[in-house]
Every structure is written in C-alpha cells, then in structure tokens.
C-alpha cells in the first residue's frame, strides 16, 4: 500500500506528503513493528489519547505530555536504528504536521500566561480534544503496524 493511502485509511488527512513520498509503497518489517509497539504503548497511556475531564487535570501538564511525544519518538527511532525507516516515514510527518502546530502554539501561549485565563484554558482543552481524536487515529495505525489488537477504545472516551 502506498504511504498516502495508509494515512487516509486512518483518517489522518492533515498529513501531507511530497509527491515522491505520497505514492511510495510501504512495507513494515519486524523492527518497524517493534518501534510502533513501543510508541503505541506510550501513547495509549498518555493524555494525548485519553480524556481530560473539565473538572480535573492541568493544562500545562497536558501540554508537556503532548510535547513529550517528540523525545519519546526520537528515542524509539534511535534505539531501533535504520531498520525502522518505514516506521520513520509515518512517525515524522505525524509529529511535524499534527503534534507540532499544537505544541508550538500552546507553548508560546503558556509562556505568555494563557493557562491563568479561563477562556484560554477552555480553548486549549477544545483544541486538545481535536488533537486527541487525531492521535487516537494515529494510535490505531500504530497498533496495525505493530500487528497487535488495538486497545485505543478499550475504555469509553468522554464525548463519544
């Protein structure tokens, strides 16, 4: 299957690939599966795929958790090395095109005191829900790559 179709199958429409890569065939190997499993478990247990009820949690902590996907993914890629090139073709565009716009916007806003403003906190949480929906789709993709049963929807997600 080509890379663009792979993203489309998991409703990650925001990910845009250059013409050379959109039609590139992708075939995951054992190292890709192992890397996908590691990231899948990290995401399954983080706020990026779990609800943040309005009456609990902390916006800054949620932002930090979303940002942590960068060093976690880098470490997974380093540890598994060049054998994970197919997984890398999936992970990097998601980080750069889905996660980065959210973290960049809200990091700057948090430095300016946004999390002391109730309206900004509501806006953050609304945008977090959108990010969570996209990252649950990504998590489903990771389960598929890893060749494991997808547990993304094991628990009822608020609002669904």
8-state DSSP, 95: I
Residue 119 in domain = yes
Residue 157 in domain = no
For the residues 121-138, what does the mean pLDDT come to?
A: 94
For the residues 147-160, what does the mean pLDDT come to?
A: 74
Minimum mean pLDDT range among 16-30, 90-104, 121-135: 16-30
Confidence of residue 43 (pLDDT cuts 50, 70, 90): very high
Residue 73 in domain = yes
SS3 33: helix
Average model confidence (pLDDT) across the chain? 91
SS3 2: strand
For the residues 124-150, what does the mean pLDDT come to?
A: 94
Residue 41 has pLDDT above 80, yes or no: yes
Distances (CA, A) of 146 to 39, 62, 113, 142: 10, 26, 40, 6
Structural domain range at position 59 = 3-146
Q: What is the dihedral of CA 52, 56, 58, 63, to 10 degrees?
A: 0
Residue 153 in domain = no
Whether 104 contacts 8, CB under 8 Å: no
Residue 140 has pLDDT above 80, yes or no: yes
Confidence of residue 156 (pLDDT cuts 50, 70, 90): low
pLDDT confidence of residue 154:
80
Give how many domains the chain has, as a whole number. 1
Confidence of residue 160 (pLDDT cuts 50, 70, 90): very low
| Tens digit of each residue's pLDDT (9 = 90 or more) over 45-90 | 888 888 888 778 889 999 999 999 999 999 999 999 999 999 999 9
Angstrom distance (rounded) from CA 13 to CA 93 = 11
Angstrom distance (rounded) from CA 133 to CA 140 = 11
Residue 15 has pLDDT above 80, yes or no: yes
Instruction: Give the pair of three-digit tokens for residue 11.
Output: 């409703």
Strand partners, 2: 25
Residue 120 in domain = yes
pLDDT confidence of residue 23:
87
Residue 158 in domain = no
Residue 160 in domain = no
Is 41 exposed, middle or buried, given 0-12, 13-18 or 19+ CB atoms closer than 10 A? middle
């Amino acid at each position: 299957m080509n890379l663009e179709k792979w993203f489309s199958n998991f409703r990650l429409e925001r990910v845009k690939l250059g013409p050379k890569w959109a039609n590139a065939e992708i075939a995951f190997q054992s190292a890709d599966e192992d890397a996908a499993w590691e990231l899948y478990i990290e995401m399954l247990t983080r706020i990026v795929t779990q609800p943040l009820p309005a009456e609990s949690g902390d916006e800054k902590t949620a932002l930090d958790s979303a940002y942590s996907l960068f060093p976690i993914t880098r470490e997974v890629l380093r540890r598994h090395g060049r054998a994970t090139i197919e997984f890398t073709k999936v992970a990097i565009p998601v980080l750069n095109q889905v996660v980065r716009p959210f973290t960049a916007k809200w990091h700057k806003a948090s430095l300016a005191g946004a999390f002391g403003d109730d309206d900004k906190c509501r806006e953050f949480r609304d945008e977090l829900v959108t990010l969570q929906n996209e990252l649950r789709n990504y998590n489903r993709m990771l389960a598929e790559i890893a060749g494991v049963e997808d547990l993304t929807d094991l628990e009822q997600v608020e609002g669904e």
